[in-house]
Structure 1
Amino acid sequence: MSANVSQPFYQLIPDTVIDAVESMGYLSDGRILALNSYENRVYQVGLDEAEPLIAKFYRPGRWSDAQIMEEHAFCFELAEQELPVVAPLQLDNGDSLFHFRDYRFALYPRRGGRAPELGDADHLYQLGQTLGRIHLVGAARPFVARPALDIQNYGRDSIELIARDFIPASLREAYTSLADDLLQGIEACYAVAGEVRNIRVHGDCHGGNILWRDDTPNFVDFDDARMAPAVQDLWMLLTGDDRQQQQLQLAEVIEGYNEFADFDPRELHLVEALRTLRMLNYSAWLARRWEDPAFPRSFTWFNTERYWGEHILQLREQLSALRQPPLKLL
């Protein structure tokens, strides 16, 4: 495997980042700050006599140009509806995806803020309102180039990779047997839910991708936007292991959501199925990126026998959750 494949960002040194930004007509003051991102590389770049910009360099080989531009177009649609999303900057000709040497990148305005308080009823209600408006736009048309979140790509493909190349031999039988049970449980949840509608969603709607600013939730990083059920953007707002607490949180989110879009209660059957798929996909994501030197440095605990043993225990607990009755609308 060539260095450019195994180390896709090996030439992305600070000078390259600054040169890329300046190729778009900006004058950097030389200040650069790497932000917390692993899939892509994201930097705050200081400008001469202007507010800093955020430069996002896309991981080579992950998304096609068409898929990235669909993400951008979705953000522009949301911004046109005056929704609080941080959309990329556009040139006068509408371009928002730029190329410099072997890299593709986009530029964003810098936005500050804090994480939402997911234990605060008012925050949950307002998050529900905003997501209802986002999904109203997301339901207007489908993605064409970007994939859907489904059992195959998040579940079966993830399990196949881990079982083939990563799980220790001593744990392989336990993992594959459990994985079969998980897939059956996921499929059962989808069967009970029935034909729910897939729409364009944020896809990775956790607190780290929401900035609370000026009493408003600002949604950032639509990199994982896909076609999926609306509940994919809602279930990660429910925190804690206490079912009663999650039930109360859900009631606030859905009350706000239903002011702008109609939530299909059948999708509640998918909450634990989607959580399981996320868990499976997360381990597979780390595995797929393990040859990128940034990953072994940052995730030192991954791919150890202890990690896989604990992962199997977590998946067993999740299998039990899959078999519980779903949350209900109050």
Structure 2
Amino acid sequence: MSTWIWAAVLLAAVFAAAWGSDHLAEPLRKLRKQWGLSAAAGGSLIGIATASPEVGVNVTSAVRGVTDIGLGAMLGSTAIGIPALVSVGYIATRKRDIPDDPGHQQHLREHLLRVDPKAATVQALPYLGILALAALLILPAPWQGLQPIDGGVLLAAYAAYAAQAFFRGREKPEQVEWSRKGIWMAVAGVGVLALGAYFTVISTQNLVQAFGISPIIGGLFITAPVAALPEIFASWKVSRSGQITPALTNIIGDHAMTMTVGFLPLALVGTQIDNFRLVWVSFVFVALMPALYAAFVRWGGSEPGFRRWQVLTLVGAYATYVAVVVVWVLELV
């Protein structure tokens, strides 16, 4: 098949997986309200749905014996996710009126994208702890790579992360209505998500063969950026509706699940690291993003959120990552 056809299959597969996760996300949003979770804490719950395509890709990668694609997609998506969604959220809210935000005019004058400060303490800082644990399990030479025991440890870490987010972010519960149609759409969403994840891996396999590149590079720079597109579109829509904190905290919950539960399929089949320099450099930048996120939200100014220069700093950090990989790791320039 032509390279262009596989590229189209990849795009369609990613959007199919996103459609499936969207229909899984709606019941989880209702649960957030019913359980009385704050917007910041609810990001952990919604992250179960938004991270499910990455988890599905890793399951398929493990089953097909191409774990490097899954590993590359995980690292690539967690590196690009925060800069992409914060940038889109900032651009989407540069209009005159935002619902339910009486201070928006002032925020426009100050070039501020305001976010609930709990996003730093409830989401970003615990996520940094998860990344430190993942690096400790994967990178040191004596036990380098992923083994089944690593998957169990990371699964326990996600359970602890979700528990602290739920208990620290409690609010008054709300009454919600459940429909049979919504439940069946969620079930259908799981099926479509699995199908989309399968064809995401298949198309990436064919694209890396066509371009003559390694599977982990294909995961990093082909699968991951394309997989970020549905989240970018969703962030634009949610941010413009005035729900800025949910739009910009879901990504942390997404990444926390990706870097824990997402590693489980790769750990169960055993995954070796062939390009150690690429993986540790990726880990450095994957950790840098939430560190900047937390610092900007919590200590970046008199009001919590992102200012224009901070948004540009996040974008610059990702551009630096790409440059380091291309020039120093792969030595393509």
Q: Aligning the two structures, in what range does the TM-score lie when normalised by the shorter sequence?
A: under 0.3
Query: What is the TM-score with the length of structure 2 in the denominator?
Result: 0.25
Query: Which one has the bigger strand percentage?
Result: 1
Q: Over alpha carbons, which structure has the higher Rg?
A: 1
